[in-house]
Amino acid sequence: MIYFDNSATTRVDEKVIEEMARVMNEMYLNVDSGYKGSEEVKKSIKEKKKIFKKILGLNPDNFSFTSGGGEANNFALTSIMRREKKGHLIISPIEHPSLLNTALELKNEGYDVEFAKVDEYGNIDLENLADIVREDTKLVSIMGVNNEIGTIIDMEAISRVVKSKNPSTYLHIDFVQGLKHIDYDFSKISVDLLSISSHKIHGPKGIGAIYIKDGVKIKDQVYGDNSENKYIPRTMPNELVFGFLKAMEIDNNMEHIKELKKYFLSKLEGISNVYVNSPTNSSDSIINVSFIGARAEVLQNFLSSNDIYISTGSACSANKKDSHVLKAIKLPKDRVISAIRISFSKYNTKDEIDKFFEVLLPFLNMVRSIK
């Protein structure tokens, strides 16, 4: 099997599996129980959470664990907007479905939702953003790294624009695709909420986290009596938490991934009617490319039959007809319908890339020859 869909999910690192097995055998006590053993587990989690400060530059005590990036994104929007009966929310048209669909639900509830403009590379139009931030803008929510084309958003500039226009407006960053794929110190910008996830960095599924800055006023969205997970009161899934934190500690080998992307792009040279849709300021993990003359789902199905797995877009919106991201950046129709996403991990190799092209090119030429 050749797996080039690591933006959808990743293979769990062996060290993470070992850590989770250890915790399930030795540290399975409920952290809310109050006795000595559970207090020791609680202290261990608190110590391990210091990795959030090391990697992201943010106070680890301000992170609550969620069931994943989707729940973190949902919580970020609803907990801020539902504090009041009305308010203005800004997102972009290229956000993850967990944000877009939540925003649409809030719109149905009567909140004013507005979309910031993006350019042809997926960058936020800063002048437009400055124009649409209002006195009643409660929240601006932006994806730090786009999950389909890999664009790395200028988060510092967005923070500066939002806070200079309205210091009371909160800023949420969806950093699910950015975590351990790009280095970023969030202590250097003003960010109020941040979403991250485990399974994009070789950790287990079913666990993510949301950062909420001190002083941010929210309305609770999840109710319960568990005290150790602040905003999401539920029984702490110890093995998932420790697995996530272990994945945070392990090197993602981004230099290797950078070389893979460079090598893949070099293999595209000489192939006719190929367009790279990912901009230069994109994650090394993601390449979005259009092979004109072949529909994306046809390529995906053929490659899948050869045990090569790629994506036609976000796994969380796989039933869509055309990519909302590619349409929002105004790509021509022939590029939209022929676009596939390749996403790498530390486990991929150049030999796999060679095999990809060895399998793809004869089929591509055959498909293009059919009139």
Write out the catalytic residue numbers.
316
Q: Tell me the DSSP string of 250-311.
A: S---HHHHHHHHHHHHHHHTT-SSEEE-S-SSB-TTEEEEEETTS-HHHHHHHHHHTTEE-B
Contacting residues for 119 by C-beta, under 8 A, at least 6 apart: 125, 329
The torsion angles phi and psi of 6, rounded to 5 degrees, stand at: -75, -10
The token pair that represents 67 in the structure block? 């069931």
Instruction: Measure the CA–CA gap between 320 and 10, rounded to whole angstroms.
Output: 22
The three-state (H, E, C) secondary structure of 9-38, written as one string: CCCCCHHHHHHHHHHHHHCCCCCCCCCHHH
Going by their DSSP bridges, the two strands 137-143 and 170-174 should be labelled as parallel
Instruction: Measure the CA–CA gap between 210 and 58, rounded to whole angstroms.
Output: 11
- Name the burial class of residue 367, with classes exposed (0-12), middle (13-18) and buried (19+) by CB atoms within 10 angstroms of its CB: middle
Instruction: Measure the CA–CA gap between 367 and 350, rounded to whole angstroms.
Output: 26
* DSSP β-bridge partners for residue 145: 152
Task: Describe the strand order of the beta sheet including 112-115 as a list of residue ranges.
Answer: 63-66, 208-212, 193-197, 170-174, 137-143, 88-91, 112-115
Instruction: Measure the CA–CA gap between 240 and 209, rounded to whole angstroms.
Output: 11
Q: What is the CA radius of gyration of the chain?
A: 21
Instruction: Check: CB of residue 219 under 8 Å from CB of residue 83.
Output: yes
The token pair that represents 161 in the structure block? 């624009």
The token pair that represents 204 in the structure block? 């287990």
